[in-house]
Structure 1
Amino acid sequence: MNDPNEGMYYYDPLKYYKEINSAIRKEQNSLRICSLSKTLHNILLWSHYADGHKGVAIGLELKPKDTAYPLKYDSTNLSVEQYRKSITAMKNLKNKHKDWKYEREVRVFTQRKKFVGIKIKIIVLGVKIEKEDKDTLKKLITNIDKDIIVVDNFKGNFSQPDWKY
């Protein structure tokens, strides 16, 4: 998680709800989070997360038993006062500061398993990957699964349609 305020929540120290705080912390420590984006073509995402356009973006499909929750972008963190006993770690972690809205993030939460079930559908190669590396990646991916589509990024055309789950 890249937002330093993620998972934070506010409470009035004079009305501190020890049992609520304890329950939230316990739940937070048991959660595993898989963060994904709804888009393969955002130039900022390529710059920040794909080694300056030298990486890849992976379009995938979640297995039916996993659910991707879209994040709510806001300017404030949740408040224990506002939500009382209905605040949960998962509810809190479905919120992110509005400055991160460009990421179009969705999250999959798990507690009892280490991995999220996925099917890779497409791999988009960054525009700055060396030709030799692109050729090697294409061969490897084809050998692993011929159904995975491998494409070069759209040479600066970052207005392609979003990936559909």
Structure 2
Amino acid sequence: MLLYKYRTFEQLEFLLDIIVSERLYCSSYSNLNDPFEGMLFHMKRGFISFRGNFHPASQKSVRAVSPVKDAFILKDEPRVCSLSSDPTDVKLWSFYAAGHTGVTVEIDFDNITDALKVEYEDTLPDYSESGIALLEPKNVLLRKTKAWEYESEYRIINDVAYYPISGRVKRVLIGHKASEDRYCLLKKLLPSHIQLVRTRLDYERVSIVEKR
């Protein structure tokens, strides 16, 4: 399975960290760009928590909405690295590759089970007291609302800042609006075993494809 990490030239050090250090950065989930990230409804006793703010509630079970860190009473926030299975989506290139001037890095995840597929749903997940007891935080973090379905996302969820990908970067696809200078710079920087590929607009399919 091939997965893709979009990057911009404005943060060239992040791109080079993937290629040279052969690793992926895993952010704390609360730093991700979805305001509903890791939020869930669940039954809870005593206090309702919302992003760390507590207020009194009935000692009976109540339906609360909490971030996954509070709902599971975790010491540390889970960390997430987001990737996509789609190198052709126009919105991904627009939002995460600086309007088609950046790149997407192709990474081979064959024979690796750490990258898990995100499921997209209409609402936030909702669990009973008994249901939440059987869950792990990653079960919640693999569910997102359908507003993000275009991302075709896979996630690495762990508790460390970096995930190793030694020998797994195969190609770098560069946006069709990237300058020739940036193309030449990458050509010089990339190791010989990593192919640099230009992209173009496909007007028939309304997508981004490799330039032949």
State the TM-score, normalizing by the size of structure 2: 0.64
Aligned pairs, how many? 154
The secondary structure found in structure 2 opposite 1:101 is helix
Equivalent in the alignment of 1:90:
138
Equivalent in the alignment of 1:156:
201
Which structure 1 residue ranges, 5 or more long, are not aligned? none
Q: Within 5 A, what are the aligned runs for 1:1-165?
A: 1-12=32-43, 14-16=60-62, 22=70, 24-26=72-74, 29-62=76-109, 67-81=114-128, 83-111=131-159, 113-118=160-165, 119-141=168-190, 145-153=191-199, 155-157=200-202, 158=207, 160=209
Higher helix share: 1
Pairwise CA RMSD: 2.7
Shift of 1:16: 4.5
The secondary structure found in structure 1 opposite 2:101 is coil
Q: Distance in 1 between matches of 2:101 and 2:209?
A: 19
Q: Distance in 2 between matches of 1:25 and 1:44?
A: 36
State the TM-score, normalizing by the size of structure 1: 0.81
Higher strand share: 2
Shift of 1:62: 3.8
Which structure 2 residue ranges, 5 or more long, are not aligned? 1-31, 49-59
Question: Which is bigger in relative contact order (C-alpha 8 A, separation at least 6)?
Answer: 1
Q: Aligned residues: percent identity? A: 27
